[in-house]
Structure 1
Amino acid sequence: MKTRRDFLQKLAAAGLALPVLSTMAKGSAMPILDTTPYDGPMLRVAIMGLGGYGSRVAEAMQDCKKARITGVISGTPSKIKDWQKKYNIPEKNCYNYSNFDAIKDNPDIDAVYVITPNALHREQVIRVAKAGKHAICEKPMALNAAEAQEMVDACKKANVKLLIGYRMHLEPKTLEIIRLRKEGKFGKILFFQGLSGFRIGDPTQWRLNKQLAGGGSMMDIGIYSVNGARYMVGEEPVWVTAQETKTDPVKFKDGVDETIQFQLGFPSGAVASCLSTYAMNNLDSFFLDGEKGFAELKPATGYGPIEGRTSFGELNFPHVTHQTVQMDEMAEMILNGKQPVVPMDGAEGLKDMKIIDAIYQAAKTGKKVPLSR
């Protein structure tokens, strides 16, 4: 791995200030300012899919200390040219969806961040793994649990890491609530509510295309409440019930869910009541209730700032750019084997896909669906 020694020395010589990131104090979710210049290995990342979220990740990575963009993969030549100029990416590190298998011979790329429509994740991650590169995949990681399992197996076979873009697993206020829950501050957990939704716009976008998205709101915003229920309660659910509502069958065609309410049951007896929708705004909140106290995040999963409070007071941690922290922390996971408080690997993504499969089954049949532990 190359380092940034020369780059840092040049900055120091020029008297320029280094960008610094918030990191986590040991044993706490409280961000502290890390002013130590970094001179270790860099995770060299190719971004696959140069759309809106890919651009957000790329911008955030400009402040990363341990990860940087070294390549791009896109089906749109004009986007590749724009990114080359903006991020100083050489021609030899630019690929399209047909030829990116050639990254296996490119030492400038350690990992590929797959930020494409859901239906493409399985094939693209498997190809990345076969090329011997680590894979980072946006959520949901696949169309269903069967595909997710194939991705996990392919990365294991190739001896590469598979990480999923669960940026909220590194968010300070979220981590503080998890810490308090683990310490028993809320007592026995009784209830979780997760509301995830917004009114979706352009009816022609891929998120409303069954073939590309694999569904509707549940395959996009809904995964936040699925995943959030698990890390907030601290258990794996054992059953699911669900109900689907559709008010606009023209916009939300067959197989594209508009609104799904779902309930989860946990081994301890705790229950979760959640909603996923593409038809309502102002829905981004988590609420956790225990015998001794409560915690609330509202907004809970947006790009920030996240707002939080507990029965013990407000959570007043500084806002940090989620994607910057995510990519630096993922560099640590890939390069140094660091383990996050809440897992971010393919196995974690697979658990969510099994629950989503069960939610769709429950909504279709009207029956309670058991989940294997």
Structure 2
Amino acid sequence: MRNSRRDFIKSAGAATLLLSSAPAVFSGVFTSKYKEKLGVALVGLGYYSTDLLAPALQLTQYCELKGIVTGSPWKIPVWQKKYGIADKNVYNYETMHQIANNPDIDVIYIVLPTGLHSKYSIIAANAGKHVWCEKPMARTAAECEAIIAACNENKVRLSIGYRMQHEPNTRTIIEFAKQNAYGHISRVKAEAGYYDGRSDHWKQKKAMGGGAMYDMGVYPLNAARYATQMEPIAVIARHETNRPEIYYEVDETTYFTLEFPHGVVADCATSLGKGMNELRVDSSKGWYELIPFQAYSGIQGRTSDGKRLNESIANQQARQMDNDALAIMNKTNVIVPGEEGLRDLRIVEAVYKSASLGQRVTL
């Protein structure tokens, strides 16, 4: 009973291995006869759930924290005291399927290491609950397809936690591309990384879905796609490792170039060994950029014609979860469906293939 979440996840992990055309962005409008608020259960009580999602759920209008799933019994009384979670809404990984019988919980949010996303997303879908899954969606495209199939079979909604697509300055970048606001896009630069000083963490384990490309690489990858509103046709990539004693199973830094139709190129980079945080788009009639383009707050940028991109919101995660809750309530398209996560994972697999072979890979 005193096993740590890390120990559980290691053992479980070893055994288990389009943007919407017209998304409904948060407007504070609720038109459904559904519950006034959807009950959310967080699966995995690590840093992201503890420090970001649980506090954000206190700020949401259309959803609320109602349940938890954890492999660390010592965390249960702490969470119950802080958030008033009822005993009947507390589960572990072996009993999680019983949420099917709990009307308090409408949505199950998977906040586990990437290598466990598929297994527990499918359990959530089979329980008949809507599924929110953190990014990256899974370790492989096949796992993504399995999640989508389970959600379709159980007639539940699926959304992937790409919070940046809910962020207002990022939405402006997306609209620039849709409206061809600065002419023909020629080149994109997208980079996301930080220095991770830990030496024994699941992000350094291949079976758990560790590595820079999985952890941070989906930020520039997804950004290149939403900033161009196109799908890449080829990729060339390479890895770089400065700490081989730590990063011997997974990539510490990855550089990859995406080739899009019409000669558009995106130069991308990601790292767990160095800081980088920039999105820039060069077009025939000017340029625009966000620096930082991915952060929990403070997203800002500028354009070649003097516009400032600095609209702020109180909390990105709260905006994301309210948007997804409203989509469920109003039966509208989610901003980031499972198919979006699947597209990214197909490219991630091609990035690794290209780096391994040392050659260009077509998509």
TM-score (norm: length of structure 1): 0.87
Counterpart-to-counterpart distance in 1, 2:152 and 2:72: 31
Paired letter, 2:337: D
CA distance in 2 between counterparts of 1:27 and 1:117 reads: 28
Deviation by residue 1:140-173 (Cα, 9 ceiling, x = unmatched): 1111111111111111111111110011011111
**Is contact 2:163-2:316 (8 Å) kept?**
yes
1:60 maps to what in 2?
Answer: 56
* Conserved 8 A contact 2:299-2:312: no
Q: 1:67 to 1:360 in 2, by over 3 A?
A: same
Aligned length: 338
Which residue of structure 2 aligns with residue 249 of structure 1?
244
CA distance in 1, matches of 2:154, 2:253: 39
Structure 2 unpaired stretches of 5+? 1-21
1:291 lines up with 2:284 in the alignment? yes
d(CA) in 2 for partners of 1:65, 1:248: 45
Aligned residue type for 1:46 = A
Partner of 1:367: 359
Aligned residue in 1 for 2:73: 77
Which structure would you say has the larger RCO, counting Cα contacts within 8 Å and 6 or more residues apart? Answer: 2
Q: Does 2:332 correspond to 1:338? A: yes
CA distance in 2, matches of 1:189, 1:325: 29
Deviation at 1:180, TM superposition (A): 2.2
**In structure 2, what is the equivalent of residue 176 of structure 1?**
172
Counterpart AA for 1:82: V
Q: Displaced runs of 4+ in structure 1, greater than 4 A?
A: 26-29
Q: Tell me, what secondary structure is at the counterpart of 2:274?
A: coil
**Aligned residues of 1:49 and 1:116 also touching (Cα < 8 A):** yes
- 2:4 corresponds to which residue? none
2:119 aligned with 1:127, yes or no?
no
Q: 1:355 to 1:28 in 2, by over 3 A?
A: closer
1:357 maps onto 2:349 in alignment:
yes
* Bigger Cα displacement from structure 2, 266-275 vs 87-96: 266-275
Question: Which stretch has the larger CA shift, 317-326 or 93-102?
Answer: 317-326
Distance 1:47 1:99 in 2: 14
Could you tell me the TM-score, scaled by structure 2's length? 0.89
Q: Is the 8 A contact 1:28 1:179 kept in 2?
A: no
Q: Aligned residue for 1:223?
A: 218
Distance 1:336 1:141 in 2: 24
Residue 327 (structure 1) aligned with residue 284 (structure 2): no
**Does the CA contact (< 8 Å) of 1:73 and 1:80 recur in 2?**
no
Q: Which residue of 1 aligns with 2:154?
A: 158
Indicate the SS of the match to 1:163: strand
1:303 aligns with 2:296: yes
Offset of residue 103 of structure 1? 0.5
How high is the sequence identity, in percent, across the aligned residues?
39
Question: 2:189, 2:268 within 8 Å by CA — same for their partners in 1?
Answer: yes
Distance 1:28 1:270 in 2: 29
* 1:140 partner amino acid: P
| Matches of 1:118 and 1:275, distance apart in 2 | 20
Distance 1:100 1:27, change over 3 A: closer
- 2:37 corresponds, among 30, 39, 42, to 42
Tell me if the contact between 2:191 and 2:278 (Cα under 8 Å) persists in the aligned partners.
Answer: yes
What is the aligned partner in structure 2 of residue 276 from structure 1?
270
Alpha-carbon shift at residue 209 of structure 1 (Å)? 1.4
Summarize deviations over 1:102-139 as a string: whole Å, max 9, x none.
00111111110000111111110111111111110001
SS at structure 1 position matched to 2:109: strand
Quote how far apart the aligned CAs of 1:28 are.
12
Q: What is the deviation of 1:327?
A: 0.8
Instruction: Give the alignment partner of residue 191 of structure 2, picking from 195, 202, 206.
Output: 195
Is the contact between residue 71 and residue 93 of structure 2 (CA under 8 Å) also seen in structure 1?
Answer: yes
Distance 1:227-1:35 versus aligned 2 partners, 3 A rule: closer
Q: How far off is 1:41 after superposition? A: 2.3
Letter in 2 for 1:352: D
Q: Is the 8 A contact 2:240 2:253 kept in 1?
A: yes
Partner of 1:316: 310
SS for the counterpart of 1:327 is helix
- Cα 1:158–1:196 shift into 2, 3 Å: same
Residue 261 of structure 2 corresponds to residue 267 of structure 1: yes
**Which residue of structure 1 aligns with residue 230 of structure 2?**
235
Q: Which amino acid in 1 is paired with 2:266?
A: A
